[in-house]
Amino acid sequence: MNTQELYQKTDAILARYGTEERSMIAVLQAVQEEYAYLPREVFPYLSERMGLSEAHIYGVATFYENFSLEPKGKYVIKVCDGTACHVRKSLPILDRLREELGLSADKITTDDLNFTVQTVACLGACGLAPAVTVNDKVYPAMTPDKASELLKTLKETL
Amino acid sequence: MAMANKQFMTVDGIPVEINGEKNLLELIRKVGVKMPTFCYHSELSIYGACRMCMVENQWGGLEAACSTPPKAGMEIRTNTERLRKYRKMILELLLANHCRDCTTCDNNGTCKLQDLAMRFDINDVRFPNTAEKPKIEDSSVSIVRDAHKCILCGDCVRMCNEVQNVGAIDFAHRGSKMTISTAFDIPLAESPCVGCGQCAQACPTGAIVVKNDIAKVWKALDDRGTKVTVQIAPAVRVALGRELGIAPGENAMGRIVAALRRMGFDEIYDTSTSADLTVLEESNELAKRLGEGKAELPLFSSCCPAWVRYCETRYPELMEHVSTCKSPMQMFAAVIRENNRTSSRKCVHVAVMPCTAKKFEAVRDEFKVEGKQDVDYVLTTQELVRMIKESGIMFRDIEPEAVDMPFGTMTGAGVIFGVTGGVTEAVLRRLASDKSNTALMSIAYTGVRGMEGVKEARVMVGEKEVRIGVVSGLKNASDLIERIKAGEHFDFVEVMACPGGCVSGGGQPFASNMEREKRGAGLYSADKLCSIKRSEENPLMMSLYNGILKGRVHELLHVHYHGAKQEDH
Amino acid sequence: MLKNRQDLIDLRAACRDAAKKQTRKILVCTGAGCVSSGSLDIYARLVELLRDRGIPCEVELAKDPHDDSVRVTKGGCPGFCEIGPLVRIDPEGYLYTRVKVSDCEEIIDKTIVAGELVERLVYKKDGKVYAKKNEIPFYQKQKRLVLEHCGEIDSDSIREYLSVGGYTAFEKALFDMSADDIVNEISESNLRGRGGGGFPTGKKWSQVKRQKATPKYIVCNGDEGDPGAFMDRSVMEDDPHRMLEGMMIAGLACGASEGYIYVRAEYPVAVKKLSRAIEQATELGLLGKDILGTGFDFTIRINRGAGAFVCGEGSALTASIEGKRGMPRVKPPRTVEHGLFNMPTVLNNVETFANVPSIIENGAAWYKSIGPENSPGTKAFALTGNVVNTGLIEVPMGTPLREVIFDIGGGIRGGAEFKAVQIGGPSGGCLTPEQLDLPLDFDSLKKVGAMIGSGGLVVMDSNTCMVEVARFFMHFTQNESCGKCVPCREGTKRMLEILERIVAGKGRDGDIELLLELADTISATALCGLGKTAPSPVVSTIKNFRSEYEAHIYEKRCPAGNCRKLKRISIDPALCKGCSKCSRGCPVGAISGTLKQPFVIDQEKCIKCEACVGTCPFHAIKED
């Protein structure tokens, strides 16, 4: 981690959103957009700049599902587990993806940092159930076999 | 009617006048009912999460008594079938997730969960015990955390943040994965924790407890070849608590001395004695800085190790303002070390303190000579109570005894060190040119006394008006510092990290606010009973300055703190 | 920049004229559903083809369009996601369904050039052909008020919104009404909050209006977190100005000059559309300082959620905007007194604000003429699950469930039987065939222990196990519990634990009673509304489908045949020849026997993977 660069980027983000507490979530989101996760080194820096304890910022970051404290894969695959998708059998899709990538509920990112597989609360694409997204692109009406196909295609682009 | 402008409501059928109570809990107390609560502390913000204090209103609705303000005409019941059912279920849910090895828990007997489980007659837990394996975090020399005894009431979090502004811990994660944690779950010793122990005071269960050094002390006592000396801090004597049959605030110093002697301590002293040294040194320092009239004002007191730690991590730039005086504990320890130089036996020095941060102070590098600590072990009042119990001494019946010579004289000035404002008052007694009794009285009424967290006073010292701030609670300290940074002038600021001072120290047995006030009052009456009120009049001082301290005042009584980074044990 | 009322009137008239002039329009649905099926490519292809053919085309509502030009618009979601991607051609109103890029050429050549219908692309049902959108049964019973512009206008263009009369209500409120008038009109209309509870909006506004403390805030709850609900998303993405207009009117009524929209993280497009809409309104001077010269200031900011369902709860939402953990706080004080930044706050959801402009424009009396007296207006529902026509619909309050599921929804997919519909998401309950004639409104649903919630309708057929449905919702709420109060944090965890063991065939006698006891404690004592309603799906399924629970617990059987762990796979001794093929393929060694004798499956060991079923050459292995 190049902390000098991290601080510079964080400074720019703070300049945009402000250092008041109310900016906390937007600031964390912006940092995460930059790094795809929240590097640990950003916490003491934000603590100093925003005048809030590190433990507090850690508490905010761990409260919200979207913040990741670990690097994510190049492809982030999200399987929707909303009601509609669930009723139309989204779990077997998740199982298949995890099986093929050797992932689980606890280990969500492959060691080569190529894939992350996670579930997501309803995407609001219930008409397309079951839905899967890859880096926020929606793939509708999935099946376990289609998921395997998708993985194959993604692997080819690596 | 004459009652026209009074407002009433009904609690369990009893009419109660509403008299500015913030919430139903306070009002319910007036009819003699103690509501079950986990997350309510009057000095903390309302959290409303344990849901134990629900009451039923006249329409059958339920309201949390902690967060509902009283309203005229309200009729509530505090003990109905529904409420009992819900309270039992909540307790059952908490217990299902909890380590239930009460007999081996540090807080056995003082645990609120245990108490309420007994009160509500919980005799079966229908859910599988999902308590995780004990997760003991003992990196801190002051306190020990055990996450699997935590009920997530958040009392510690609010204490650490709202009252102490330390922010070492906070909530992390959410839902059933929620924990109370440092940032990234780092060891407490690496966090901004100052070791004040107020979290342990607030914790209703055994999830945060004072680190226990009893065994080490017993070992030293059992070794005949070791000479064990002990000093007892002022605030300890008024806080032994109901467990030993002592009324809140009752001065039990004589009995403590007797008990310690029975346990085998060879020499027993009163830290009030060395507090006199602190008064003399700190007064000198203040007078000098006032006389020079330049920077480095205000002078901050340095007796409180949690405050010193807070200042060096949070405001390192202010360390120049912190008095170079060692705390009374460390001054005494240095004197005793010198006194023992000629002893042929191995010497161990123990300090009985109301304070968990003192455990940290004792291990600081600054207080080691040739690698050896001046204070070998710090016992908190809580640990003292346990040792007394363990030794089987019938504390109420024991005959009071006096401390040992050669350091056996103390003054009222030293005794009041244990309560907020006490250090300031003692220093002012020293600095006042008028040594009359009237002057003494007037110092007491300058505004330095009282349990308030922030007190301010203007006092004439010689020709000069001196502005004094007295704060307890680190949030109050940091607020005052911000004012000073914004340009307000103070000459002297006394800081005690615990709200109300050492009487409410993190190592004291738990006490209600009222009991804490009684402890403070106990110290002031001990002061009254002292024939000598001013430190400089302590005859021992003269002999110390002419003896052990001769030419070594700076070395033995002063310290220069190295900064935030400390080798942790 | 519009300086005064006349400027706004003039601009609106100009936009309206321009739109009228341009009668030939192609509307391509760019809702999430259709985009994921390639509608953006279709849009690009259509534009490309028009240009190739030399047909003048415009992608925006131009200031002065050619009479004969074709406007190609990204139209937002008309709601019928099932048959997307959708392309509509005006003025005929032809609706083409399941359009592919390869269909574009035919559409241009036949319909645009020659004015003919491409019949193979239109919606057909039961042998009937429905060429036009409004003829389709899915739309016929709907009354689209809040969603009226969804699928009709390009949400990226404030000019299009103006062309359909946008900001007329705001204009009226700003120039012709006092704050009291506005509050009275909304109170009189009996508009009730669409976020779930159905609290009267007018009452809320008047409470905030009464507060002396300033500044006050208008907060829009766009944290539509119920799994299976997406109507707010549609409004935010397809008609953002309507919602902004509602918030601005609220600002006028309550004396607030700052608005916040909290949009859930999963809706990045909504954030983009809303930002664009705010930008455009600000450019025109409809937002900002001294709006239209009246001295009224109003700005709107967007806060993006970060993934926490609980932030749909008012005090958790404001905590989140304040930058904190989204944990609800105890009340009192209420949000109207101490809301965002501890100041008086109006907090309404997207659909509620979107109702406001038409009430102000058409009056309370008009609004009350729609739907029942106590729940007037319409309600948008997300119709999903095992129903033929999934999508977004809007009906008058009080419409019977039967009409929604069978007339609009087209009945149950695959011809199975209707079993239940889950309404109100994880806070709601299920309705059964006996309740098909129940009118969908706040009070009727409350009476049967369900709630409208934000409006998710998940239809379930006879193959759905209701215990599993309850488990699913409990898993959701348990996972989304903020963890603050004991009953919700620990209680939902225990309820889930019990439900999990029931669906795994390990249920015990007394489990149903224990579930109900937990549910009672949680509903009575949880700190926030989400906690209090968390047990509803369980209570409601126990009430209506107790026998299913009993079958799982006492007979270790799933009547719907849904619970995998309760399946029993066995070998028919009459057919088994004892070849041992199955036992060699069993991954857990659950099959044993002597060669040439019938083999048996140890049910304790069997993991119901069904690997053996396919391997048996004699078809002797079956699920019981």
A87 and C CB contact within 8 Å: yes
- Confidence category of residue B197, pLDDT binned at 50, 70, 90: very high
Angstroms from A75 CA to nearest CA on chain B: 25
- Beta-carbon neighbour count of residue B129 at 10 Å? 12
Angstroms from B122 CA to nearest CA on chain C: 16
Residues C363 and C413 in one domain: no
Among partner residues B62, B151, B177, which is closest to C524 by beta-carbon distance? B62
Within its chain, how far is the Cα of C393 from the centroid? 9
Q: Nearest-CA residue of chain B relative to C526? A: B51
Residue B1: the pLDDT is 44
A78-82, A133-137, B234-238, B289-293: segment of lowest average pLDDT: B289-293
Among partner residues C230, C267, C464, which is closest to A126 by beta-carbon distance? C230
- Confidence category of residue B568, pLDDT binned at 50, 70, 90: very low
A41 and B CB contact within 8 Å: no
Q: Is the peptide bond before C332 cis (omega within 30 degrees of 0)?
A: yes
Cβ-Cβ contacts under 8 Å for B386 (sequence gap 6 or more): B214
End residue of a domain, out of C322, C350, C368: C368
The SS3 assignment for C387 reads strand
Residues C175 and C261 in one domain: yes
Q: With residue C380 as reference, give the H or E element that holds it.
A: strand C378-385
Residues C220 and C355 in one domain: yes
Yes or no, beta carbons of A56 and B184 under 8 Å apart: no
The predicted model gives C374-380 an average pLDDT of: 94
DSSP designation for B558: B
Query: Do B450 and B416 contact (CB within 8 A), yes or no?
Result: no
Yes or no, beta carbons of A56 and B167 under 8 Å apart: yes
Structure tokens at C337: 């007194």
- Confidence category of residue C48, pLDDT binned at 50, 70, 90: very high
Paired with B137 in beta bridges are: B145
End residue of a domain, out of C106, C140, C174: C140
Residues C363 and C477 in one domain: no
Average per-residue pLDDT for chain B:
92
The predicted model gives C578-586 an average pLDDT of: 87
| Neighbouring chains to C with at least 3 Cβ pairs closer than 8 Å | A, B
Yes or no, beta carbons of A59 and B170 under 8 Å apart: yes
Q: Which of C325, C492, C513, C521 to mutate to test the interface with B (most CBs of B within 10 A)?
A: C521
Domain count for chain C? 5
Q: Which pLDDT tens digit goes with each residue over C416-466?
A: 899 999 998 888 899 999 999 999 999 998 888 888 887 889 999 998 999
- Beta-carbon neighbour count of residue A3 at 10 Å? 13
Torsion of CA B503, B506, B510, B514, to 10 degrees: 40
The CATH number of residue C446's host domain is 3.10.20.600
> Has residue C396 been placed in a domain?
yes
Query: Do C108 and C53 contact (CB within 8 A), yes or no?
Result: yes
Residues C239 and C266 in one domain: yes
- Beta-carbon neighbour count of residue C341 at 10 Å? 14
Q: Which of C41, C223, C224, C230 to mutate to test the interface with A (most CBs of A within 10 A)?
A: C230
Reference C493, options B407, B335, B152; nearest CA is: B152
Q: Is the peptide bond before A130 cis (omega within 30 degrees of 0)?
A: yes
Helices C201-210 and C179-189, axial angle in degrees (round to 10): 150
**Strand C621-623 relative to strand C569-571, pairing:** antiparallel
Could you give the angle at the alpha carbon of C344 between the alpha carbons of C341 and C346, nearest 5°?
105
Residues C545 and C402 in one domain: no
B198 and A CB contact within 8 Å: no
SS3 track for C486-542: HHHHHHHHHHHHHHHHHHCCCCCCCHHHHHHHHHHHHHHHCCCHHHHHCCHHHHHHH
Among partner residues A64, A83, A88, which is closest to C307 by beta-carbon distance? A64
Q: With residue B56 as reference, give the H or E element that holds it.
A: strand B54-57
In chain C, the percentage of residues whose pLDDT exceeds 70 is: 100
- Confidence category of residue A126, pLDDT binned at 50, 70, 90: low
Query: Do C428 and C457 contact (CB within 8 A), yes or no?
Result: no
**Strand C25-28 relative to strand C57-58, pairing:** unpaired
**Strand C345-349 relative to strand C217-222, pairing:** parallel
B125-210 topology per CATH:
Alpha-Beta Plaits (3.30.70)
Yes or no, beta carbons of C497 and B127 under 8 Å apart: yes
Q: State the Cα–Cα distance between residues B183 and A40, nearest whole angstrom.
A: 10
DSSP B182-243: SGGG--GGGTT-----HHHHH-SSSSEEEPP-HHHHHHHHH-TTEEEEEEE-GGGGG---GG
Residues C216 and C334 in one domain: yes
* Residue B308 phi, psi (nearest 5): -60, -45
* Chain A residues within 8 A of C564 when measuring between CB atoms: none
Q: State the Cα–Cα distance between residues C225 and C195, nearest whole angstrom.
A: 11
Q: Which residues 431-490 on chain B approach chain A with CB closer than 8 angstroms?
A: none
Buried b (16+ CB within 10 A) or exposed e, C10-20: ebbebbeebbe
Whether B89 shows a pLDDT value over 50: the answer reads yes
Q: Which pLDDT tens digit goes with each residue over A61-96?
A: 999 999 999 888 889 999 988 777 777 778 889 999
Yes or no, beta carbons of C230 and A140 under 8 Å apart: no
Q: With residue A57 as reference, give the H or E element that holds it.
A: helix A54-63
* Chain C residues within 8 A of B162 when measuring between CB atoms: none
- Confidence category of residue C478, pLDDT binned at 50, 70, 90: very high
Yes or no, beta carbons of A137 and C392 under 8 Å apart: no
Yes or no, beta carbons of A40 and B184 under 8 Å apart: yes
Q: Nearest-CA residue of chain C relative to A86? A: C472
The predicted model gives B196-213 an average pLDDT of: 96
Query: Do C169 and C362 contact (CB within 8 A), yes or no?
Result: no
Residue A127: the pLDDT is 66
Whether C587 shows a pLDDT value over 80: the answer reads no
> Has residue C234 been placed in a domain?
yes
Residue B2: the pLDDT is 46
* Chain B residues within 8 A of C484 when measuring between CB atoms: 47, 49, 154
Could you give the angle at the alpha carbon of C224 between the alpha carbons of C221 and C230, nearest 5°?
130
ipTM here: 0.91
> Has residue C158 been placed in a domain?
no
End residue of a domain, out of C398, C430, C461: C461
> Has residue C145 been placed in a domain?
no
Catalytic residue ranges of B: 282, 285, 303, 323, 358, 361, 366, 502
Q: Is B293 or C372 the better-scoring residue by pLDDT?
A: C372
Q: State the Cα–Cα distance between residues C313 and C221, nearest whole angstrom.
A: 9
Q: State the Cα–Cα distance between residues C597 and B170, nearest whole angstrom.
A: 65
Rg (CA), chain A: 18
> Has residue C261 been placed in a domain?
yes
Q: Which of B55, B93, B112, B152 to mutate to test the interface with C (most CBs of C within 10 A)?
A: B93
Q: Which pLDDT tens digit goes with each residue over B210-246?
A: 999 999 999 999 999 999 999 999 999 999 977 788 8
- Beta-carbon neighbour count of residue C230 at 10 Å? 35
Burial (CB < 10 A; 0-12, 13-18, 19+), residue C259, is buried
Q: State the Cα–Cα distance between residues C152 and B443, nearest whole angstrom.
A: 81
Enumerate the domain spans of chain B: 7-79, 125-210, 215-557
Structure tokens at B113: 């969960």
Residues C91 and C134 in one domain: yes
Taking the CA of residue B562 as centre, how many other CA atoms within 13 Å lie in the half-sphere pointing to its CB?
9
Reference C525, options B205, B84, B12, B35; nearest CA is: B84
**Strand B75-77 relative to strand B54-57, pairing:** antiparallel
Residue B569: the pLDDT is 36
- Confidence category of residue B400, pLDDT binned at 50, 70, 90: very high
Whether B76 shows a pLDDT value over 50: the answer reads yes
Q: Which pLDDT tens digit goes with each residue over A19-43?
A: 999 999 999 999 999 998 999 999 9
Residues C433 and C572 in one domain: no
> Has residue C561 been placed in a domain?
no
Residue B131: the pLDDT is 75
* Residue C321 phi, psi (nearest 5): -65, -35
Reference C31, options C221, C230, C228, C242; nearest CA is: C230
Paired with B62 in beta bridges are: B56
Query: Do C533 and C452 contact (CB within 8 A), yes or no?
Result: no
Average per-residue pLDDT for chain C:
92
Query: Do B472 and B500 contact (CB within 8 A), yes or no?
Result: yes
Report which listed range, B106-120, C222-236, C574-588, is most confident: B106-120
Yes or no, beta carbons of C483 and B175 under 8 Å apart: yes
The SS3 assignment for C74 reads strand
Yes or no, beta carbons of C483 and B174 under 8 Å apart: yes
Q: State the Cα–Cα distance between residues C484 and B158, nearest whole angstrom.
A: 13
> Has residue C411 been placed in a domain?
yes
In chain A, the percentage of residues whose pLDDT exceeds 90 is: 65
Residues C450 and C510 in one domain: no
Whether B3 shows a pLDDT value over 60: the answer reads no
Residue B567: the pLDDT is 43
Integer angstrom CA distances of residue C547 from C141, C449, C467, C610: 35, 19, 10, 27
> Has residue C423 been placed in a domain?
yes
Yes or no, beta carbons of A63 and C229 under 8 Å apart: no
Domain spanning B7-79, CATH architecture: Roll (3.10)
Reference B83, options B61, B54, B121; nearest CA is: B54
Q: Which of B176, B178, B180, B205 to mutate to test the interface with C (most CBs of C within 10 A)?
A: B176
Q: Which pLDDT tens digit goes with each residue over C22-46?
A: 888 999 998 877 887 889 999 999 9
Angstroms from A144 CA to nearest CA on chain C: 15
Taking the CA of residue B343 as centre, how many other CA atoms within 13 Å lie in the half-sphere pointing to its CB?
17
CATH of domain B215-557: 3.40.950.10
Residue B564: the pLDDT is 54
A60 and C CB contact within 8 Å: yes
- Domain of C617 in residue numbering reads as 568-623
Residue A137: the pLDDT is 82
Residues C526 and C594 in one domain: no
Yes or no, beta carbons of B176 and C525 under 8 Å apart: no
Tokens 């100041």, located at residue: C343
C230 and A CB contact within 8 Å: yes
Whether C484 shows a pLDDT value over 90: the answer reads yes
Cβ-Cβ contacts under 8 Å for C155 (sequence gap 6 or more): C74, C76, C149, C161, C237, C238, C239, C240, C241, C273, C277
Residues C404 and C515 in one domain: no
